[in-house]
Amino acid sequence: MSYETILVEQRGAVTLITLNRPKSLNALNSQVLEELIVAFGAYEADPSQRCAVLTGSGEKAFAAGADIKEMADKAATDFYTGDFFSRWTSHLVKTTRKPWIAAVNGFALGGGCELAMMADFIIASENAKFGQPEIKLGVAPGMGGSQRLTRAVGKAKAMDMCLTSRMMDAVEAERSGLVSRVVPLASLIDEAVAAAEAIAAMPPVATIANKEMVNAAFEMTLDQGLLFERRVFQILTATEDKAEGMAAFIEKRPGVWKGR
Ligand code: CO8
């Protein structure tokens, strides 16, 4: 499929997806969503691809939010009957079981911040700025900002950002647990792809299992989560990759994974 609003490139086992509407600071419209669904679906289905990186084109923005010009004339019934925004989470979070990293270059505002928070983790450039400024438009986060941001940075900072529309810079975002690493803008893609390559080199079954376990922490009680973790760990011990991983450690050589 040819895309108009995103760029997709494979670098070895890593799929690099770039939001490509730089003139509107990569604002997220319906076409971006449809193309991302196809691109993430292709990534998920391709066994040669082991990790993905999502970034924004240009140096200014990852994504400055949902496309305000597209939303401006929509009626409430359009948002409601079309269940606007629900497909972002269902496709990019729920059905994408393989890992992906958001490489945030510049503004990640509104839906842009929410899209980044759907990733398994965020690597930010030094000029990154995160915010949920929807209140200034007379609305509120609609794609997870009130929930995922609060879980990531806690009530005080999430409330501050949602109510005042204050942006968080990269240093504060790392200090607050929103991003895992901050790197210079010039090396952002290299660093994110290197992190993705590190993940791509891990045993495939254990990769999906680790992702599922960490995500379970947001859905389960501690007791349920600990049980889930233990059971999945126990199942992993039946894989050929477990036998290979332990043998490789003892024999002081790299493991060769079968994905089973
Ligand atoms: N939608 C549409 N166009 C946008 C958006 C946007 N969110 N953000 C920027 N643009 C456009 C501008 O209109 C402008 O276009 P033009 O040149 O044709 O006038 C171009 O991008 C450049 O923007 P600016 O001239 O404003 O650039 P500045 O450097 O002066 O300012 C800012 C940069 C601070 C990022 C500023 O553009 C801004 O405040 N943008 C809007 C940020 C915002 O309010 N985001 C939240 C949107 S609402 C939302 O995301 C709802 C979430 C619900 C779920 C979403 C699911 C997808």
Q: Which of 64, 66, 128, 200 is catalytic?
A: 66
DSSP 203-230: -HHHHHHHHHHHHHTTTS-HHHHHHHHH
CATH code, 204-251: 1.10.12
Say how many CA atoms lie within 13 Å of 59 toward its Cβ.
6
Q: Enter the pTM of the model.
A: 0.96
- Give Cα 110 to chain centroid, integer Å: 15
- Do 34 and 82 touch, CB atoms closer than 8 A? no
Average pLDDT over residues 189-204: 98
Q: For the segment 66-85, what is each residue's pLDDT rounded down to a tens digit? A: 999 999 999 999 988 888 78
To the query of whether residue 66 is one of the catalytic residues in this protein, the response is yes
Domain limits, the chain:
6-201, 204-251
CATH 3.40.50.920 fits 6-201, yes or no: no
Is 172 an active-site residue? no
Pocket of ligand 1 (CB under 6 A): 24-25, 27-28, 64-69, 85, 88, 107, 109-111, 114, 133-134, 137, 141-143
Contact 37, 87 (CB under 8 A): yes
Which two tokens mark 118?
A: 């759907």
Active-site annotation holder among 35, 134, 174, 229: 134
ipTM reported for the complex surpasses 0.95: yes
